[in-house]
């Protein structure tokens, strides 16, 4: 088994063991692609949401929030194009009966070639040592050039076939590349078919009077249909944005990789309305801003990259993904799209209501253009959790598992631990806890040895452990242990609040 698969499995079982993420309906053997967030998971999720909201809404005078309903008028999805165009190309393997996304099969094939290129580079690096220049090597080595040419050609062909909807030729491409089903090992494929990703449901008491509804596949449309409501009530002027966090639902053909691809997930989206012809300027601005937001969490610049789209969705004139280096490689974490005036114009057409803005600087009304930033909350959660997970050798015969979460996002900021249950230590510890728990989420623990309790807090990702001992009762000082360095310091109880506050102070992170 590849090493990354091993690590990923460990992360998934750690998430379960420590109350971060459970399989949905586990007692009934689970439901594929649905997950429940446990006591620590919900805290981490809320902290991510809060950080996003603060930086996108509270720190921008021209961005406001919204919480729109999941159910929307069915015409919404005609106008948005989701009924006609929100499809994935699916293909089945007749032997294994497994279903795949045709484009994902081809992309996986290409990733394997890309891995080979990386291996060529690693070998050359070993051979040339400090004299190795990766950029030069990639642009001159004949084997690498050949591999890259193959990747580029296949990509171009696939994108062209996908955008023209030529499914027969996509199947031919899969056959030509001799792509086999990872389960059966055969290439006994069915034809490629379109599959709409929206979940349909019905509202209404009787058969005759019921209406077909869809569970929203993105939160964005709730923002577009409320454009005028929000603009008028807040008296916002272009450029301005509307942000929302909420659930979205997609009937994903294959749901893999834990919480990376779910059928019910959460998005944090912001639609920024701009003057027509200003959109590229703002597209650039939001690309940079969002990348900085990710980098501010200190999870390593090298773990992010942009992936500009060659094939654009029906509504977009530019699009990029921010990819993160997940345990299974670089994959999309966030999308930034220049959505033109497609959505507002289309809702105008279908609803018959004007969705325009009178711009008194240029003295005319227009349908604004839109830049969207859209990040999956669950994918962000996975990025944070997988980056934080470390197994460390503490000394010759002791290992620890530690979640080195950004302190700002850690579910529990401090654990308060009386050394023993005697001599009034628990009472003192609880008194200390009372003095800080309003501002910081804290945990009190008195069971097990202090060493075991430290390990448990490491595994949860708690940045600080506060230990109350005999000396505390005499001089009101405690031992403060740092999660990452494991260093312990003796400090006065009245300094505790400011030390913790300094570590998780939003101002240190926020842009
Ligand atoms: P993918 O190519 O991975 O299917 P997408 O391009 O369809 O993603 P968008 O429609 O741009 O995704 O959605 C914006 C964000 O929502 C994505 O960047 C991702 O973080 C998140 N997201 C989309 N689909 C899922 C899903 N099934 N499970 C979890 N998060 C998702």
pLDDT tens for the 511 residues of the chain, in order: 457 788 999 999 999 999 999 999 999 999 999 999 999 999 999 999 999 999 999 999 999 999 999 999 999 999 999 988 788 889 999 999 888 999 999 999 999 999 999 899 989 999 888 888 888 999 999 999 999 999 999 999 998 888 788 889 999 999 999 999 999 999 999 999 988 889 999 887 666 667 889 999 999 999 999 999 999 999 999 999 999 999 999 999 877 789 999 999 999 999 999 999 999 999 999 999 999 999 999 999 999 999 998 877 778 899 999 999 999 999 999 999 999 999 999 999 999 999 999 999 999 999 999 999 999 999 999 999 999 999 999 888 889 999 999 999 999 999 999 999 999 999 999 999 999 999 999 999 999 999 999 999 999 999 999 999 999 999 999 999 999 999 999 999 999 999 999 988 888 777 5
Closest CA to 451 of 425, 489, 488: 488
| Ligand 1 contacts CB of residue 107 (under 6 A) | no
- Ligand 1 mean position to 510 CA, how many Å? 25
Q: Which ligand 1 atom is at minimum distance from the Cα of 217?
A: 10
> Look-up: residue for tokens 């949905």?
24
- Ligand 1 mean position to 322 CA, how many Å? 11
Q: Which ligand 1 atom is at minimum distance from the Cα of 321?
A: 18
pLDDT value, residue 207: 66
Give the integer Cα–Cα distance in Å for 467 and 479. 5
- Ligand 1 mean position to 86 CA, how many Å? 13
| Ligand 1 contacts CB of residue 375 (under 6 A) | yes
Q: Of the residues 270, 293, 379, 384, which should be mutated to test ligand 1's pocket, given the most ligand atoms within 8 Å of the CB?
A: 379
Asked if 492 and 480 touch (Cβ cutoff 8 Å), the reply is no
- In order of 40, 98, 404, the CA distances from 30 in angstroms are 20, 19, 29
Sequence-ordered list of residues with C-beta below 8 angstroms from that of 474, at least 6 positions apart, any chain: none
- Ligand 1 mean position to 294 CA, how many Å? 17
| Ligand 1 contacts CB of residue 250 (under 6 A) | yes
Sequence-ordered list of residues with C-beta below 8 angstroms from that of 484, at least 6 positions apart, any chain: 402, 404, 463
Instruction: Please state at what angle helix 496-504 crosses helix 425-436, rounded to 10 degrees.
Output: 50
| Ligand 1 contacts CB of residue 316 (under 6 A) | no
Q: Which ligand 1 atom is at minimum distance from the Cα of 252?
A: 27
Q: Which ligand 1 atom is at minimum distance from the Cα of 255?
A: 27
- Ligand 1 mean position to 378 CA, how many Å? 10
| Ligand 1 contacts CB of residue 378 (under 6 A) | yes
| Ligand 1 contacts CB of residue 376 (under 6 A) | yes
pLDDT value, residue 1: 42
Closest CA to 24 of 251, 262, 237, 219: 262
pLDDT value, residue 463: 98
What are the DSSP calls for 245-307, one per residue? EEEEE---SS--TGGGS-SEEEEEEEEEEE-TT-HHHHHHHHHHHHHHHHHTTTS-GGGEEEE
The residue contributing the CA closest to ligand 1 atom 21 is 376
Alpha carbon 429 to chain centroid distance?
Answer: 37
Closest CA to 223 of 251, 243, 239, 197: 243
| Ligand 1 contacts CB of residue 469 (under 6 A) | no
| Ligand 1 contacts CB of residue 252 (under 6 A) | yes
Strand, coil or helix: 491? strand
Give the integer Cα–Cα distance in Å for 45 and 375. 13
| Ligand 1 contacts CB of residue 290 (under 6 A) | no
Closest CA to 242 of 255, 256, 232, 253: 232
Q: Of the residues 286, 333, 336, 376, which should be mutated to test ligand 1's pocket, given the most ligand atoms within 8 Å of the CB?
A: 376
pLDDT value, residue 206: 67
- In order of 41, 86, 245, 263, 282, the CA distances from 370 in angstroms are 33, 20, 18, 27, 9
Q: Which ligand 1 atom is at minimum distance from the Cα of 332?
A: 18
| Ligand 1 contacts CB of residue 266 (under 6 A) | no
| Ligand 1 contacts CB of residue 327 (under 6 A) | no
Q: What's the predicted TM-score (pTM) here?
A: 0.87
Give the integer Cα–Cα distance in Å for 99 and 29. 21
pLDDT value, residue 511: 56
pLDDT value, residue 316: 86
């Amino acid at each position: 088994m590849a090493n990354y698969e091993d690590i990923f499995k460990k992360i998934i079982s750690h998430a379960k063991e420590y109350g971060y993420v459970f399989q949905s309906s586990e007692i009934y053997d689970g439901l594929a692609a649905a997950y429940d967030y446990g006591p620590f998971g919900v805290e981490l999720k809320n902290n991510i949401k809060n950080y996003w909201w603060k930086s996108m809404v509270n720190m921008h005078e021209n961005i406001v929030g919204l919480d729109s309903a999941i159910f929307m008028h069915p015409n919404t999805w005609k106008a948005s194009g989701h009924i006609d165009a929100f499809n994935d190309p699916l293909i089945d393997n007749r032997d294994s009966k497994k279903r795949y996304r045709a484009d994902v099969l081809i992309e996986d094939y290409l990733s394997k070639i890309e891995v080979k290129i990386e291996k060529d580079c690693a070998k050359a690096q070993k051979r040339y040592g400090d004299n190795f220049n990766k950029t030069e090597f990639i642009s001159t080595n004949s084997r690498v050039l050949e591999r890259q040419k193959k990747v580029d050609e296949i990509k171009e062909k696939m994108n062209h076939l996908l955008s023209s909807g030529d499914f027969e030729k996509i199947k031919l491409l899969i056959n030509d590349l001799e792509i086999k089903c990872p389960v059966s090992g055969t290439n006994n494929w069915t034809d490629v078919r379109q599959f709409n990703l929206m979940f349909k449901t019905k509202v209404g008491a009787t058969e005759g009077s019921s209406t077909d509804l869809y569970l929203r596949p993105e939160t964005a449309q709730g923002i577009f249909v409320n454009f005028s409501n929000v603009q008028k009530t807040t008296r916002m002027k272009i450029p301005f944005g509307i942000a929302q966090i909420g659930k979205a639902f997609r009937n994903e053909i294959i749901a893999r990789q834990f919480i990376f691809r779910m059928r019910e997930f959460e998005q944090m989206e912001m639609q920024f309305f701009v003057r027509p012809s200003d959109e590229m300027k703002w597209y650039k601005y939001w690309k940079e801003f969002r990348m900085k937001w990710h980098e501010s969490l200190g999870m390593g610049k090298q773990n992010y990259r942009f992936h500009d789209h060659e094939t654009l969705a029906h509504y977009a004139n530019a699009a990029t993904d921010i990819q993160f280096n997940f345990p299974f490689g670089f994959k999309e974490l966030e999308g930034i799209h220049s959505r033109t005036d497609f959505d507002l114009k289309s809702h105008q057409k279908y609803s018959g209501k004007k969705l325009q803005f009178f711009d008194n600087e240029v003295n005319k009304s227009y349908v604004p253009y839109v830049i969207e930033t859209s990040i999956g909350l669950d994918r962000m959660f996975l990025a944070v959790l997988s980056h934080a997970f470390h197994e460390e050798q503490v000394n010759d015969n002791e290992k620890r598992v530690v979640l080195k979460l950004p302190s700002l996002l850690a579910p529990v900021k401090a654990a308060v631990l009386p050394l023993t249950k005697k001599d009034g230590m628990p009472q003192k510890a609880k008194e200390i806890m009372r003095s800080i728990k309003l501002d910081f989420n804290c945990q009190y623990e008195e069971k097990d040895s202090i060493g075991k309790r430290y390990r448990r807090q490491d595994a949860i990702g708690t940045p600080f452990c506060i230990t109350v001992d005999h000396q505390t009762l005499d001089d009101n000082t405690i031992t403060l242990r740092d999660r990452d360095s494991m260093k312990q310091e003796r400090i006065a109880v009245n300094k505790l609040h400011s030390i913790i506050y300094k570590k998780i102070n939003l101002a240190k992170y926020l842009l």
